[in-house]
Amino acid sequence: MKGFRCCRFVSIYVLTAVLPTVISRSLASVLILTMSLSSFVAHASESSSDYPQFAIPTTMAQTGGAGLLRTPHAQTLGFGQISLNYHNEANVDKTTPYGRGAHNTFLMGVGVLPHIEFVVQNTHKEINGEAWKTGSDLSYSAKLDAGWLIPKDWFQLAFGLSDFGGQANHHESAYVVTSKQFSSVRFSLGYGHNPEASTHQMGEDYLSGAFGGIEFQALSWLQLVADYDGTGANAGLKLFTPDSWLPYGVKANLTYQAFSDSATFNRDNQWLGLGLSLPLSGPNAAPRYHRPQDAGEKVDQRALTLTLQEAERQTHEAALTTTSRPKAVNKSDNVKAQESAERPLSVLSRKLSQYGFENVSVGIYEEQLMVRAENNLFNLNEIDAIGVILGFISEQIAHPSFSLTLLNNNLPVVNISGSNENLRRLFHDNSLHKDATLPKLMVSTRNLNQGADQTQWLERDENSHLYKPKVIFSPSLYSTIGSEYGVFDYSLALSTNVQVPVWKGGLVDVRHMLPLSHSDDYADGERFGQDRHTSTVDRILLHQGIALPAGMLAQVSAGQIASHYQGGTSEWRWQSTQGTHKLGLEASYYRDKRDDNADVVKPMLAHYRYYIDQYDWALEANAGQYWAGDKGFTVTSKHWFGDTSVNLYYQKTDKSFAGLSLSIPLSFRKDMSPAPLQIRGIEQWTYGYRTMVNNPSNDLNGSLAATSDLQNSIDRNYYNRDRLSASYINANLLRLKDAYMKYGEH
């Protein structure tokens, strides 16, 4: 053991002192050092198998994505992880253009799929620098690791592209890199090509040829790092927070590059980086979103959520103490006795209505329990409402089967049915996650009124949804990112949206914008001054939903949008039996009330979506004529993680654009009861950025490929943000139980 500790000290010395000098000489030095340290680690592992080995975390390099200090390795961010980082470099020269010399960096990386990482990066010298001098540069990067192709015990291999697609590129490079871990040490060796060497901000030799590096995880919270990037050697360390410090899988890290002998002008500097990584699904994570990274593994839909883990622990503790103490009174024996004396269906109807569900109906049809209800409590995800309602049904059901029809604005949108045994296994079997299969529910969006006329309704339309205003607050943000005018320019307003259901399928929708703040470049007379928020009622609409045969639904919206445009929008939607395919059509007609001679706005778009439930991944496309009269198409790769989605898209009309956006909920998982008034946050707030591609300059142009973008579209108002289907619900069965255990008032 003493010998190994001595070797460990030598390793630290080599990594922090000897390595930077050696590997700066030539690629041969890197190879020799790598082979020597590989031999050392292998020998150390054999001589001291009891020495603790630590997992090597994945964090961001200074530029481009996951890596060491200034070079990438073959690891990618975990599926569903987001990494937010800020890197501050010493000796930033503000007298030189932003494309030269030391700079500071914002980095956001996302594991959008297993083995695929996507990164947005902004480099700058000043947050609000002088236009066209010390402004900033925005770029995209991507990395694909070949973990599905190469056995785990061999090595890792990855391919990457940095700053692709645009024309004003200062970080463009392509590379292939391999990594191999021995004990607590990971070695990386790669080869890169820099097609725009003369303009690369890191230097003309950066990732141009061979590069490599070593990471040594000395302790669970300490990593020593050294790498060679083609321009010189770098050495430093990384610190990590223990897993127990932050909730919901959040981890923080600090990176310090203490040494660099880069030959690039003004790049032989120290830099300090702060990073935060977290699961995109956040505290609402269901096991549906905990997906494997390794090849050959399938999605584990049976792993317990945090709520279910706690419930299982309590059940286990209760079982251990049952024989040693009297049985506790559960819920209220007196209340249960009173309920048992009442009719179970009346009890169920009253329980649903008092809980806050609306338009509640309970009855019997051919020995089947029939329930209809509307959810305005769980606005982030209708599946939580379905879970709570089914849990309540499981408490009262005395029939062999059940049928639940979920309503939105009193229109039926989905039916869930199954057997009494299905409910018992799903909600009252604590060993459910250990079974080979989960109980499947029958889910349909067709023939939703079948049997309704023949049903013997004991309770009908209890707790009406009509004339109960919903006040929804959210931020409204206009902004530019990474332009020559600065890192971030913005106009911020408070959006107050009032929605009032007035009849079946009918909804009045009014929104007011209240300006709160703006940056200098959004001031009067400045570059973006004409685009600043003003205090106005920008939307007054009446929406009417119409149920059609064969599971189709239409909506007509008439009134005023975008402050000045009066007219209407018609939508139509159909999805396949399992929800794998969706078709849609949207057509609008608007006139500018300020100018009778202005052209009529007549956008018309056809939509298609393909859903892959294994990865909660939707591939979407729309094509036709957009708001400004430009014609073309948009393709989107939408990745769901809990109630957050990451959207990568490409647009082609008069110009071409590529972009990324995040849609996140700004409200609680369960909102306040909607009677007599509901105040809440918005269920989906979207923010993103796009850049012009295949063009000599990355100009800003927000008018192309624009849509009416109705907040109360069919997908959002009726179909749970396009997540109300058989494939989605059956892929999230344990979230049903999680919602019932957490919110079912046991």
The total of other beta-carbon atoms located within 10 Å of residue 283's CB is 12
192-201, 455-464, 467-476, 522-531, range with the lowest pLDDT: 192-201
pLDDT at 282: 76
pLDDT at 722: 97
Provide mean pLDDT across the span 280-296. Answer: 53
On the question of pLDDT at 296 being above 50, the answer is no
Nearest to 605 by CA among 645, 647, 635, 637: 635
Give pLDDT tens digits for 544-594: 999 999 999 999 999 999 999 999 999 999 999 999 999 999 999 999 999
The total of other beta-carbon atoms located within 10 Å of residue 338's CB is 11
CA-CA distance, 46 to 646, in Å (whole number)?
45
The domain segmentation of the chain, as residue ranges, is 60-279, 308-321+332-465+729-743, 470-712
69-83, 333-347, 533-547, 623-637, range with the lowest pLDDT: 333-347
**Are both 60-279 and 470-712 of the same fold?**
yes
pTM for the full predicted model: 0.86
Q: What is the mean pLDDT of the chain?
A: 85
pLDDT at 404: 98
With cut-offs at 50, 70 and 90, classify the pLDDT of residue 167: low
CA-CA distance, 380 to 720, in Å (whole number)?
8
On the question of pLDDT at 342 being above 60, the answer is no
The total of other beta-carbon atoms located within 10 Å of residue 462's CB is 17
Nearest to 448 by CA among 409, 486, 481, 404: 404
On the question of pLDDT at 699 being above 80, the answer is no
Which CATH class name applies to 60-279?
mainly beta
With cut-offs at 50, 70 and 90, classify the pLDDT of residue 454: very high
Q: Is 95 left (phi over 0), alpha (psi -120 to 50) or beta?
A: alpha
% pLDDT > 90, the chain: 65
Fold of 470-712: Porin (2.40.160)
pLDDT at 133: 61
48-62, 390-404, 417-431, 707-721, range with the lowest pLDDT: 48-62
Phi, psi of 498 (to 5 degrees): -110, 125
With cut-offs at 50, 70 and 90, classify the pLDDT of residue 620: very high
The total of other beta-carbon atoms located within 10 Å of residue 198's CB is 6
| First and final C-alpha spacing in the chain | 55
pLDDT at 665: 96
Between the alpha carbon of residue 589 and those of residues 453, 584, 595, 658, the distances in Å are 39, 17, 15, 28
pLDDT at 433: 54
CA-CA distance, 389 to 387, in Å (whole number)?
6
Do the beta carbons of residue 514 and residue 494 sit within 8 Å? Answer: yes
With cut-offs at 50, 70 and 90, classify the pLDDT of residue 333: low
Nearest to 53 by CA among 180, 186, 218, 251: 218
136-145 vs 411-419, strand pairing mode: unpaired
> Residue 337 pairs with which residues in a beta bridge?
none
Q: Which residues contact 328 (CB under 8 A, 6 or more apart)?
A: none
678-681 vs 470-483, strand pairing mode: parallel
